[in-house]
Structure 1
């Protein structure tokens, strides 16, 4: 009841223009509001998404940021959803029963600088489930506290920090809460094709998607470090207590991809997948807020460091998605994308799949499949592509330092 009251009070108070000072809002409060049941999972085009957009717009306004959408803080886009999961949704000017309309929420911190940094995070989620959900027990509210109320809360926290910063302002900052990410990066795609600023003046883009579950090892995945020559050094120089899992590619399943494909350097931050991913159980009480503070401070340090650089030079990277082999079988595990050791560490095991039937467990590290060595995610996928349905193979795992062989039937 208390959380629901907070939501309604926040939506009411922030929707009213007042001259009185506004209490500082913590990342925990932002996540609690955006991931509340009353927003029904923030599905693109829904009433709940509209409430979330209004909340974010009013947070931007109370932070003293300028509106930079096409309708004040909002940039609307209308699309036809595809019934074919392998076909992209289509933007349209139509507005009828077969279309949906999403809203990007966009704000600007104008420092009268030559170049602009884009800082973004998607705010939509899966609503009551359906396509994309990993929940198999009917409709339920998917609150998406980590995915991606956490990223939006961190973006708002960074906006507050950058607004209050006293040092010389070397860049402008454009903050975008994207809609339609879960539908296929629609909001970021639409913005890049219909920008509200001159994107030729964008020096780089920062994206935060699922940054609320920093693990005990303090491992943070940073993607896009190969998209400009200076990024690798700066990302590592500011790491502090964080363990950085590097990935050079500018392509991945989040909104930074849209900017990379427009020849803009990108950095994408991610604390890892977990058993609540795309399920109703991704709730506020499971978010690591101390970890979020650590990650937010780290990103702020990177931004400050990059402020002293001239406009970043864009560099193309290898697109890992183009070299992923085809699979005829599945092991039935969730890989640990933050693992930087030798092999493929299992972060979760699906029920009634080959791995579970063979006794594989969370934390096991696959080091060999049949005659094929597994040294990382790519070699794991290449090894998996060698097997056919019904085939049995010996899989070697490292379980707490001991090598164990198990028979897996695909």
Structure 2
């Protein structure tokens, strides 16, 4: 297949028995391996996902991490009945039948003999050949390799595991580290939810959790979104005190979001979730390994190591509840037909994409335009944009003020 030679090469490195011959596996190699056609999109419960789980297990073994799944294994399996109703959750069951699937978390432990443990996680499942959740609209099915979503997060997790394991023990004695590659994220955070309810370390020993989901496309502005900043009083200081990497931090307080950190937050565990933003290949077959920013991934890994090191002597972190930002989103009857740039930290709402045959395209709006006024409403950020949009009805025409190339323009939009 497309990258089978590279996959075999990487796996042969993993299985090599001679310590002197082992070479560190790069994040780029991990992404290319996990996002290869060999795994058929790593859909939960498929043979492709099991093969990807074996790859991650072998990488954990290469890094000399202890197994911390079930029965001294690296894996933690869970059986569930998928929901056919998007408004209902999947049902866990201990009984395997023709209507059930089995997901596989891959879990490894770095034991520093400490009282507390930091969980570092990333989901490795994806959408397989598409189906529910895919944004691909062609009739012919295609492999959704999920390089950014989320081979990128797994690759950074493995890089962190290597670095923390190789760090001088004087720098990393205050916490143990538990590394988890989650299954079932795309089906509703199933793997992380199951782990929190069936932990393989005492849940009361978990100081905080770091989650990485789609960290492979750091943009030219070096903007990274960090969610969960409000879930511990110390996080904000740690984030900004350790930003020696010229990163533009888009901070979000809430511990609730569409990724695995949510499962830990709901168990009263502080969380930080790192994310470099959506893009036109999200949940499509075009999310391939050659499109990732590997220098950016290294910068993110460096940043997270700095944060972890800084927090290492702070003991078990205090937990703080946050507002669920998704519950504050107003309802609206119309849409502009744009993809907002959720990483934009300036004034207004920057457009990251324009949908075909929608009001924005008909009015001449373009990617990169920054909406600063919608009708009579000032737009300063995403929330003010959504509040303004919620006031309009279908058929209404209004004036939209934008900034384009540092010049202000006004256009008429009909919803």
Task: Give, in whole Å, the separation in 1 of the partners of 2:360 and 2:2.
Answer: 43
Task: Give, in whole Å, the separation in 1 of the partners of 2:81 and 2:400.
Answer: 44
- 1:172 to 2:176 alignment: yes
In the alignment of these two chains, the number of paired residues is: 409
Q: 2:406 aligns with which of 396, 401, 405?
A: 401
* Mapped contact 2:2–2:37 kept (Cα < 8 A): no
Q: Deviations over 1:309-356 (max 9, x none)?
A: 121000111110121112222222111111111111111112222222
- Residue in 1 aligned with 2:198? 194
* Mapped contact 2:3–2:37 kept (Cα < 8 A): no
Shift of 1:17: 7.6
- Residue in 1 aligned with 2:59? 59
Task: Give, in whole Å, the separation in 1 of the partners of 2:299 and 2:106.
Answer: 26
Task: Give, in whole Å, the separation in 2 of the partners of 1:224 and 1:350.
Answer: 30
- 1:378 to 2:377 alignment: no
SS in 1 for 2:360: helix
Q: 1:293 aligns with which of 276, 294, 298?
A: 298
Shift of 1:99: 1.3
Shift of 1:9: 4.3
1:59-98 equivalent positions in 2, closer than 5 A: 59-71=59-71, 72-98=73-99
Runs of 4+ aligned structure 1 residues displaced above 3 Å come to 8-14, 16-21
SS in 2 for 1:112: coil
- 1:208 to 2:212 alignment: yes
* Mapped contact 2:350–2:371 kept (Cα < 8 A): yes
Shift of 1:249: 1.1
* Mapped contact 2:341–2:351 kept (Cα < 8 A): yes
1:2/1:93 CA distance change after superposition, 3 Å: closer
- Residue in 2 aligned with 1:18? 17
- Residue in 2 aligned with 1:44? 44
- Residue in 1 aligned with 2:222? 218
Shift of 1:403: 1.8
- Residue in 2 aligned with 1:183? 187
Task: Give, in whole Å, the separation in 2 of the partners of 1:362 and 1:223.
Answer: 25
Q: Deviations over 1:103-125 (max 9, x none)?
A: 11000001110100000000011
1:1-400 equivalent positions in 2, closer than 5 A: 3-11=3-11, 14=14, 18=17, 20-21=19-20, 22-71=22-71, 72-138=73-139, 139-168=141-170, 169-240=173-244, 241-400=246-405
Task: Give, in whole Å, the separation in 2 of the partners of 1:248 and 1:65.
Answer: 32
TM-score between the two structures when normalised by the length of structure 2? 0.95
1:97/1:357 CA distance change after superposition, 3 Å: farther
Shift of 1:308: 1.6
Shift of 1:130: 1.4
For structure 1, which segment, 156-165 or 95-104, has the greater mean C-alpha deviation from structure 2 after superposition?
A: 95-104
Task: Give, in whole Å, the separation in 2 of the partners of 1:130 and 1:384.
Answer: 31
1:341/1:82 CA distance change after superposition, 3 Å: same
Shift of 1:368: 1.6
Q: Deviations over 1:372-396 (max 9, x none)?
A: 2211111111112222223322222
* Mapped contact 2:174–2:315 kept (Cα < 8 A): no
TM-score between the two structures when normalised by the length of structure 1? 0.96
Shift of 1:371: 1.9
